[in-house]
Chains A and B, each alone.
Chain A
Amino acid sequence: MPAIVAEGLERAFGDVLAVQGIDLAVEEGEIFGFLGPNGAGKTTTVRMLTTLLLPTGGRASVAGHDVAAEARAVRASIGVALQEAALDPLMTGRELIRLQATLQGLPGAQGRQRADDLLERVGLSGAAERRVGTYSGGMQRRLDLAAALVHEPRVLFLDEPTTGLDPVSRKTIWEEVRDLNDDGTTVFLTTQYLEEADQLADDVGIIDSGKIVAEGTPQKLKAEIGNPHIQLQLAEGSIVEAEPILAPIGRLLPPKDGKTVLVEVENGAADIPRVVRSLDEAGIAVESLELVNPTLDDVFVAKTGYHLEQEGEEKAEQEALET
């Protein structure tokens, strides 16, 4: 049975339809990457799935419980770390985890032990008595994640868990998410970082303007828009000789410059020896070779008509100008 199901899920705010009838099925034990730009409807969807917002249409269930009719049963099955760690800066790290243990109904001694274990797990034991307001962004995210895990939830919702973090902190969170998933936790992860979805997700859903525009494994989505290509740098003047040799192996793509040949190949890396052997037999020297796979950004562009990360940067710039 899928851990998360949405059927025609809708959310309107007045006349604005923020989420427009989305369908989703996230299998037990997988990491689902929910990808989209700011304002696409990711957070609204997560808020409905975590029972923080009532849907205005359609239905959804999490861990087998309806989000509207069995909200408390849903909340008992999920861990939630929402966008921008919702932490009280006046509490210490240990106080926060213990409060979360109480909220989840863990008895006192068990809650205290669990808090110690989790603080150790996320590397915050040394800072446990410090107020959260003195933590760095990465520490706050790790604490938020620890709080979401206090009751060992079946399904974990992470809403943009690495937004604004430095690369090292981002990698730490990724490792933690992988470990959790290895332990059997289903993870629903929203992100606006393509690399994050590509690295972590078993399945990806792309949302744009409140609608799911693509869904599937990252490999399947990339395959849908085309095969990988081999990028070859040859000696000046060799291209004319190389093209008829490479044409039977794969479709030639428009070259970038006078030294580069692009060959679309069906079998990816498996086609590299054939390419190198053919050129070598013809006496054409290869200066460099690279296998270029389609990226999720290519998928995003194909489905929406614009680049996700570029769009995010433009919005950030706009916000900076407005403030």
Chain B
Amino acid sequence: MSGARTNLRVVRALGMRSIRQTFRRPQFISPIIVFPTLLLAVQTGGASAALELPGFPEVQSFLQFMLAGAMMQSMMLAGNSGGIALAIDIEMGFVDRLFSSPIPRFAVVLGRLAGTAALGLFAAIWFFAIGLIFGAEIEGGVPGALLSTALITAAALAVGGIGAAIALRTGSASVVQGLFPLVLVLLFLSTAYFPDELMIEPAKTIAEYNPLSFIVEGVREPIIAGIDAGDTLAALAAILGIVLVGLLLSVSALRHRLRVG
């Protein structure tokens, strides 16, 4: 069997393990699905009057506007949970089992990221299903839904790379878990839950330049208006940037792990 094919099988097998692990451990699935779903319900039920604010984008419903935010939250927490799971693997020595196998060590990280990306895909489908059940319209139709889903999946992979790098560097599940609040702060300082036109400084400026805002807009536009090439490209650029940062940090952290054991 060729090396590339073997590596692909390894990445797929580790990705499947990652997904099974998430569904078998309630503390992993809860932040990815339950928490964002509850927040979506609370925000949609309690803050839909925001639609009346001058400057709020023209949307069919507040739920329609909030879908992208819920997907982003779910995707970010999937990346964080992936990092926690990898750190637990390091703490309990499971990573040694993987690293003592004749596979490229980066395949171990890719396997984890494949699982995280699959959870991002699952989250996008879950929130589209909720949106459709509760009456939200997808202005971009099926192509728009597919585009948003693909962006969320790619973003999960990118954010998962950062989580994996932190896990590899620290080897501590509690450190990665401690990033949970930071994930929420980053989201609140983006346009995930509120348009930047209605924010006050300095949050407005931070949100304008926050890479997450570019991804949110790329995901949201096909839902509330239709596919927009500019927003899509900006989202892809932001994802690519995060992927590159995650890649560099992960390679460096892998080397560090080999040096320190």
Contacts and interface: CB of A to CB of B under 8 A. Distances in A.
Interface of A: 13, 44, 47, 50-54, 72-73, 75-76, 78, 80, 82-84, 86-88, 90-91, 95, 98-100, 102-105, 107, 131, 147
A105 B5 CA distance: 9
B13 interface: yes
Interface in B188-207: none
Contacts of B10: 102-103
Contacts of B258: 52-54
A105 B94 contact: no
A98 B100 CA distance: 16
Interface in B156-197: none
Identify whether the interface residues of B are mostly helix, strand, loop, or mixed.
Answer: helix
Given A50-B100, A75-B100, A105-B1, A87 B20 contact: no
Contacts of B261: 44, 47, 52-53
Q: Size class of B's contact patch? A: 20 to 34
Nearest to B259: A54
A103 B94 contact: no
Given A99-B13, A102-B9, A105-B6, A90 B102 contact: no
B97 A147 contact: yes
A105 B102 contact: yes
Contacts, number: 77
Contacts of A80: 96-97, 100
A78 B97 CA distance: 12
Interface of B: 1, 6, 9-10, 13-14, 17, 20-21, 24-25, 89, 92-94, 96-104, 258-261
B259 A86 contact: no
Nearest to B14: A99
B102 A75 contact: yes
Contacts of A82: 93, 96-97, 100
A108 B102 CA distance: 17
A225 to B, nearest CB: 35
A13 B93 CA distance: 19
Contacts of A90: 20-21, 24-25
A73 B24 CA distance: 35
A5 to B, nearest CB: 19
A127 B99 CA distance: 27
Contacts of B259: 54
